Amino acid sequence: MGAIPVRRIGKTEAEVTVLGFGGAPLGDLFELVPETQAQDTLQAAWDSGIRYYDTSPFYGHGKSEHRIGYFMRQQPHGEYVISTKVGRIFKAVRNAETFKSNLWAGALPFDFYYDYSYDGVMRSYEDSLTRMSVNDIELLLIHDLDHFFHTEPQVQAYLNQMATSGWRALSELKSAGLIKAVGAGINKPGFLPRYLDMVPLDFFIVAMPYTLLDQAALDGEFQRCAQDGVTVVIGSPFASGILVTGPVEGARYGYVSATPEILEKTRRIQTVCQRHGVPLPTAAMHFALAHPVVSAIIPGAFKPEFIHTNVGYFNHPVPTDMWAELRHEKLIREYAPTPR
């Protein structure tokens, strides 16, 4: 197995493997993940050459950070890159026995409040170091400050808090060499320019705006990133599931059940891929990585076999005429970059 290539984050010296590890599933996203299984999954990722691991305090209310930190403490220092996030502060709940989360099946008994101030950013950063028991975090991101979790008045208030207070903390951490790059993790299209008009970020992690099924980000957001020397990590290259499962009943797109229109478009794309002997997930991975502003993709996994399958998809060759057919059939945009 060949080494996984690396790419730079923005204009910084930070480099990540183009195939990374998305840590949300290790926060027990929708279903419980046994501890042994979580560590075996991380071991499979490490053995496969993956050296970039993304997590967040939000994932399982600390559980993902605990699990990734436990594994990373056993690996050679300096051979991996961790990204985590700020914006939520966690506090122990009074009644752990009755605490439940609607999103995280096995959430730790800590609730949170939003805080994008100087003190909030610094506390979140230090809490993450403590949870993971690591001495440094290379990449730090402003998390979920968009319409997925907030109303527009809330977004504007928190953006003002970040611009007037929290950004100073991120700048100090970077200037001191405690972090190498500052980013923002967002879920909704339209927010990249809004951030870049406010603060000089190095990169974004985006969940859905650029996949084999939707290239809306080409209409201006990725152009702005290229103009500013900002790069992007694709957090959901499989569009939250359907580009792995294919157009089956119950397939998920954008974290909800796929519409008939999305199912049909996926079916047509899959038919072209099959004609060229290419698995649908392979096409999804290679397509996302073909754009010059994309630094990495970070599909999530909670079983070792998912890692092995993803790496197999990643290493599968793709003939260039497949992209030509997808473009001819108007299944991808005419000017969307594709691998050469």
Answer for the pair 291, 18: CB distance below 8 angstroms, yes or no. no
C-alpha 182/C-alpha 199 separation (Å) is 10
Give the C-alpha distances (Å, rounded to integers) separating 129 from 62, 82, 138, 142, 298.
Answer: 11, 11, 11, 16, 21
Instruction: Catalytic residue, from 53, 80, 85, 144: name it.
Output: 85
- 3-class DSSP string for 61-123: CCHHHHHHHHHHCCCCCCCCEEEEEECEEEEECCCHHHCCCCCECCCCCEEEEECCCHHHHHH
54 classed as catalytic: yes
C-alpha 54/C-alpha 112 separation (Å) is 20
User: CA gyration radius for the chain?
Assistant: 19
91 classed as catalytic: no
Instruction: Catalytic residue, from 28, 53, 54, 118: name it.
Output: 54
Instruction: Catalytic residue, from 53, 59, 114, 253: name it.
Output: 59
Contacts of 219 (CB under 8 A, 6+ apart): none
Q: How far apart are the first and last CA of the chain?
A: 21
59 classed as catalytic: yes
Q: Name the token pair of 289.
A: 């990585």
Task: Please report, as a single letter, which amino acid is at residue 205.
Answer: I
Active site residues: 54, 59, 85
